[in-house]
Amino acid sequence: MRWTHYPLTLTLLLLMLLCATPTAQARIKLVTLPLRERVEIQLEHEQVTLVEEERIIPLAAGVNEIDFSWNNTAINKESIQFRAVSHPEQIKVLSVSYPPNENALVWCVSSSGDLSAKVRISYIIGGLQKSFIYKALASHDEKTLTLRQYLRLHNFSNEEYGNSGVWLGFGDYFQKQIGLNETKELLSARFDEIPIVKSYTCDPAEFDYLDRGKNQLMVPMHYVIKNTKEAGLGRFPLQPGKVRIFQDDGSGGNAFIGEDWGPFTPLDDQMRLYLGVAKDVVVKRTIKKNEQHRLLGNLFNQEIILKYEIENFKDKPVTLDIREALPYVRNESIGSRDRAVQWRLDNEQMHTDWRDTDPTRVDADTVMFHVPLPARSGEGKAEKLEFEIHLWIENEW
């Protein structure tokens, strides 16, 4: 393999310190630039990239000067390290100096004999950047999903690295050609048959209204996957990146559904992939009761009943997640406040026309209900369900 571009110039000057005379200086030998034997690019850190390169360098017995320069390359000179991989007991770095006004340094290295040494030079460099993209393919019945993670390596370092090892800090180790000023896309991980849940969620605080005049809420759809070993993932945190989402169309092809930005997803957490707004799940929300109950002086509790009218026009049953952020409910019922909200559900008074459903606390100020919706009838008619949430905002003034 022959390098065609050398922004990093590694020149080996063998200096036999027989004496400090001009005659001795005249015997300095210029050694041809050794080819890289190995390169590893480590990308696990978000802000910096570590490069390690190994070369075979002939050393003479005595003291040798090794000059390392990096024109037009964003190397952090404070990070450059030199280490002997072979014969470490015979090779010692005596000193390092930096020529003024140059992107260069000189190592003064002693060797106990004439030998060829494998040395490792490592440094932090700018211009080597990474990003991630994903391809998600859902099965035709939307029960499972195949997820492919791709690494995009952007080499704007003004250096050609050739056949290099690439390590992300997780997952598999890669061996790829890294050319000058190129972007390389690598399949970094694949996960098959991941269980998915297709969710339907209404949350006026996050998603707002589809038609406020008709009190109709937006109902976004998501594929929800869990980053756990039980779900076929759980090997490492999922890095943030754009996700292109497809579905098996049942005829041997794949239909493009949309794309979303997948957030950083730690182990045992979940990723929600946005699919669009459901047009066939209609949810209307009104404040049925909004009444103040005085306690003492200006202190009062606010009693609120939220009423939902829900219709599912789909041919199959689905579960609707109703989320309510209590600061949002307080602001729309009694006005904006800049303090934490105190609230409670009145479970005994809460009722529906069909059945009760147990609430789930999403966080300290958000509650969610999972409401199963039956499929529409054979005549295409949807059953209208009414669902009410009875809650109290306490100790307001």
Q: Residue 305 is part of a domain; what is its CATH number?
A: 2.60.40
Q: 276, 291, 308 — which closes off a domain?
A: 276
Return the closest-CA partner of residue 43 out of 157, 111, 112, 124. 124
- Picking from 83, 99, 125, the residue at the C-terminal end of a domain is 125
Residues 149, 256 within the same domain: yes
How far CA 231 is from CA of 145, 188, 225, 271, in Å, comes to 10, 19, 8, 12
* Within a domain: 215: no
Judgement on whether residues 50 and 85 belong to the same structural domain of the protein: yes
Per the structure, the complete domain to which residue 179 belongs is given by 127-196+221-276
Residue 71 lies in a domain: yes
Asked if residue 259 is part of any domain, the answer here is yes
Choosing from 125, 150, 174, the residue where a domain stops is: 125
Backbone angles phi, psi at 21, to 5 degrees: -125, 160
Co-location of 344 and 261 in the same domain: no
Beta-carbon contacts of 156 under 8 Å, excluding residues fewer than 6 positions away, are: 127, 128, 129, 181
Could you tell me if 272 and 145 lie in one domain? Answer: yes
Q: So what's the pLDDT on residue 353?
A: 46
What is residue 251's DSSP assignment?
A: S
Are 138 and 39 within one domain? Answer: no
Full pLDDT tens readout for the chain, 397 residues: 333 333 444 444 333 333 233 333 322 333 335 778 999 999 988 888 999 999 999 999 999 988 888 888 889 999 999 999 999 999 999 999 998 988 888 899 999 999 999 999 999 999 998 999 999 999 999 999 999 999 999 999 988 888 999 999 888 888 988 998 899 899 999 999 999 999 999 999 999 999 999 999 999 999 999 999 999 999 999 999 999 999 999 999 999 999 999 999 999 999 999 999 999 999 999 999 999 999 999 999 999 999 999 999 999 999 999 999 999 999 999 999 889 999 998 866 555 444 456 788 888 999 999 999 999 988 889 999 998 999 999 999 9
Residues 268 and 131 occupy one common structural domain = yes
**Helix, strand, or coil (residue 78):** helix
- Is 254 within a domain? yes
Q: 330 in a domain, yes or no?
A: yes
Judge if 325 and 372 occupy the same domain: yes
> pTM to 2 decimals?
0.78
What the block records as the tokens of 151 is: 């690494």
Is 381 in the same domain as 241?
A: no
Count how many domains the chain has: 3
In a domain, 208, yes or no: no
Question: Tokens standing for 42?
Answer: 């480590």
Q: Is 346 inside a domain boundary?
A: yes
Same domain, residue pair 323 and 352: yes
- Structure token digits, residue 27: 């015997």
Q: Do both 158 and 250 map to the same domain?
A: yes
Q: Which two three-digit tokens encode residue 31?
A: 């050694």
Q: Which phi and psi (to 5°) does residue 214 adopt? A: -100, 5
- DSSP character string of 5-45: --SEEEEEEE---S-SSHHHHHT-EEEPPPPEEEEEEE--S
**Residue 171 within any structural domain of the chain:** yes
Tell me, yes or no, whether 272 and 132 share the same domain. yes
At residue 363, what is the residue type? D
Q: 132 and 272 share a domain?
A: yes
Rounded to whole angstroms, the Cα distance separating 41 from 383 reads: 60
